Structure 1
Amino acid sequence: MGSLKTHQSVHSGEKSYHCSQCGKTFSHMCNLKEHQKIHTGEKPYQCTTCGKGFRTSRELPIHQMTHTGEKPYQCSQCGKTFSAAGDLNRHHRIHTGEKPHQCSQCGKTFNHMSNLKDHLKIHTGEKPYHCSQCGKTFSRMGHLKTHQRVHSGEKSYHCFQCGKAFTQKGDLKKHQRIH
């Protein structure tokens, strides 16, 4: 696709590039290639400090600020600081109550695009995240990570009263009711 046609697709909404794994469409090849890394698990951009990998080059410098502690963006209403301007903009919606992202299927609104994208998977049934150990699939990466603790035995949730540890947040909450 020529650069003029590529640019015109932005205005026309034409999406000529299709993901062979899930059918999602894109107007730019670079967006398709970035998306496909979700399915392959490819994370070519590595943090030299902690080794964490990222699918896109723009995510890495934002992550690296977690190591330096740099948070140059400050909320004028509550003073909370952020390492990325986009995070500050999304945070402002807590104060305004703005939910600019609407589901075209059911009308439900969301304050973050990522929440809308997760929600849309309810309608499509898309479950792009696969457990490599048992094959179970998930619509959200966070749900896969939570599930993987079943296999690893990692217990990230600790009772502050007695010290007992749990793999699932819900199990900790149930346990805390006994105190």
Structure 2
Amino acid sequence: GKRFGHGATLAKHRRLHLGLQPHRCGECGRAFGLRSALARHQRAHGEERPFACGECGQAFALRSNLALHRRTHAGERPYRCGECGKAFGMSSTLVTHERVHLEEAHGAAQGW
């Protein structure tokens, strides 16, 4: 297995594999596994959002995020899990999903 010099580093590693997200945004409720990810997200609340979805009105700071969002309306799910075949609209959602399989495999290896 992997070795860690600090307990906090090990704790972050475990949260990653278990998909735990203890850091929650007070403005929108979205949760994150790392405090730094929450801080980056919270900065986005103050950004200008000039790219609005013509279908639902949700606005984005980046044109690329609007393009990703449009997939939800179109039903596009180009990212498929190699383990179970479930499909997702964003690669980040697939990565989050794949943690379930990592947890199952790690738990089985540890005798959980």
Instruction: Normalising by structure 1, report the TM-score.
Output: 0.35
SS state at 1:20 partner: coil
**CA deviation vs aligned residue, 1:128-158 (integer Å, no higher than 9, x gap):** xxxxxxxxxxxxxxxxxxxxxxxxxxxxxxx
Question: Aligned in 2, Cα 1:40/1:72: closer, same or farther, shift over 3 Å?
Answer: farther
Of 38, 46, 54, the match for 2:36: 54
| Partner residue, 1:119 | 97
CA distance in 1, matches of 2:85, 2:44: 36
Using the TM superposition, give the Cα deviation of residue 71 of structure 1 relative to its aligned residue in structure 2, in angstroms.
0.7
Of 42, 45, 66, the match for 2:45: 66
Q: Which of the pair has the greater relative contact order for Cα pairs under 8 Å at 6+ separation?
A: 2
Question: Aligned in 2, Cα 1:73/1:63: closer, same or farther, shift over 3 Å?
Answer: farther
Runs of 4 or more, structure 1, over 4 Å off, are none
More helix by proportion, 1 or 2?
2
| Partner residue, 1:101 | 79
* In the alignment, structure 1 residue 87 sits paired with structure 2 residue 65: yes
Using the TM superposition, give the Cα deviation of residue 100 of structure 1 relative to its aligned residue in structure 2, in angstroms.
0.8
Unaligned ranges ≥5, structure 1:
1-18, 22-35, 42-52, 127-179
Using the TM superposition, give the Cα deviation of residue 73 of structure 1 relative to its aligned residue in structure 2, in angstroms.
1.4
CA distance in 2, matches of 1:64, 1:100: 29
Work out which of the two has the higher radius of gyration on C-alpha atoms and give 1 or 2: 1
Instruction: Normalising by structure 2, report the TM-score.
Output: 0.51
| Superposition pairs of residues 1-179 of structure 1, within 5 angstroms | 20=2, 38-39=12-13, 53-55=35-37, 60=40, 63-68=42-47, 70-125=48-103
Unaligned ranges ≥5, structure 2:
4-9, 16-34, 105-112
Using the TM superposition, give the Cα deviation of residue 87 of structure 1 relative to its aligned residue in structure 2, in angstroms.
2.7
